[in-house]
Amino acid sequence: MELKSCSKQTNFLASPISENRVRIILQPPVMWRTFIKSLSPDCEFVSAPAPRAIVAAQNSLHLEFPAELLSLFDESDGAMGEYGLGLIWPLARIVEDNLRFRSDPEFRELYMPFDHLLFFADAGNGDQFAYSICGGEVRRSDIFAWGHENDSRSWVAPSLRTYLDWWLTDRIKL
């Protein structure tokens, strides 16, 4: 697998993301609810967020979300697993947690920077799942786990779909 260099300085979006662009990326849906329910019937979903909410979330983080995450948001504002586990967080939590992790002064003293991660889910034990950000964008569909106890960042899956499959079938061990 060829890895793209992350050494390029972060460039935030020069112009805000448009609502029309979100609609184009979101179609056609991948049937995420059906896929996730096939892995874990106890999962819960809520109504999909409005395209303008997705645009606002991306603009708040100065980042365009990956297409597979956008397609999931076309069906639901996140996915909750058994016992309320955040398989995919709602937009509001993605924005809130990513901004907090990137700006909290205590985190800056404890951990490596979080500017190169887009957190979108948690393992229920303090560890979190994220896409990597290189050069101000998510270039790869790979999913990484951040370990809160040792600040590790480990590859766990090649895509959102595989992350959900492997996580819900206990093939990802943290």
Reported as a single tens digit per residue, the pLDDT across 58-96 is: 999 999 999 999 999 999 999 999 888 899 999 999 999
The predicted pLDDT at position 82 comes to 87
The confidence score (pLDDT) of residue 84 equals 84
Q: Please count the other Cβ atoms lying within 10 Å of the Cβ belonging to residue 127.
A: 17
Task: Please report the pLDDT score of residue 76 as a whole number.
Answer: 96
Considering the domain boundaries, does residue 12 fall inside one?
no
Helix, strand or coil, per DSSP, at residue 173 = coil
- Would 33 be classed as within a structural domain? yes
Q: How many domains does the chain have?
A: 1
Distance CA 62, CA 115 (A): 11
In a domain, 23, yes or no: yes
Strand partners, 121: 129
Residue 82 lies in a domain: yes
For the stretch 103-115, pLDDT in tens is 999 998 999 999 9
Residues 116-172 have pLDDT tens digits of: 999 999 999 999 999 999 999 999 999 999 999 999 999 999 999 999 999 999 999
Residue 72 maps to a domain: yes
Cα 154 vs. chain centroid, distance in angstroms? 15
Instruction: Find out whether 143 and 131 touch, Cβ atoms under 8 Å.
Output: yes
129: CATH: 3.40.1580.10
Q: Which residues contact 71 (CB under 8 A, 6 or more apart)?
A: 25, 26, 29, 30, 32
Q: What is the reported pLDDT for 17?
A: 58
How, if at all, do strands 117-122 and 128-132 pair? antiparallel
Instruction: Show Cβ contacts of residue 84 under 8 Å, excluding neighbours closer than 6 positions.
Output: none
Closest of 43, 65, 62 to residue 138, by C-alpha: 65
Q: What angle do CA 55, 35, 117 make, to 5 degrees?
A: 45
Q: Is the separation of the CB atoms in 13 and 65 below 8 Å?
A: no
Residue 149 falls within a domain, yes or no?
A: yes
Alpha helices in the chain (DSSP H): 19-26, 32-39, 51-61, 67-73, 91-103, 105-110, 160-168
Q: Is residue 115 part of a domain?
A: yes
Q: What pLDDT, on the 0 to 100 scale, is given for residue 18?
A: 53
Predicted pLDDT of residue 10:
39
* Structural domain boundaries, residue 26: 19-168
| pLDDT tens, position by position, 1-32 | 443 444 433 344 445 555 555 544 444 445 99
Q: Specify if 6 maps to a domain.
A: no
Mind listing the pLDDT tens digit for each residue in 25-62? 444 445 999 999 999 999 999 999 999 999 999 999 99
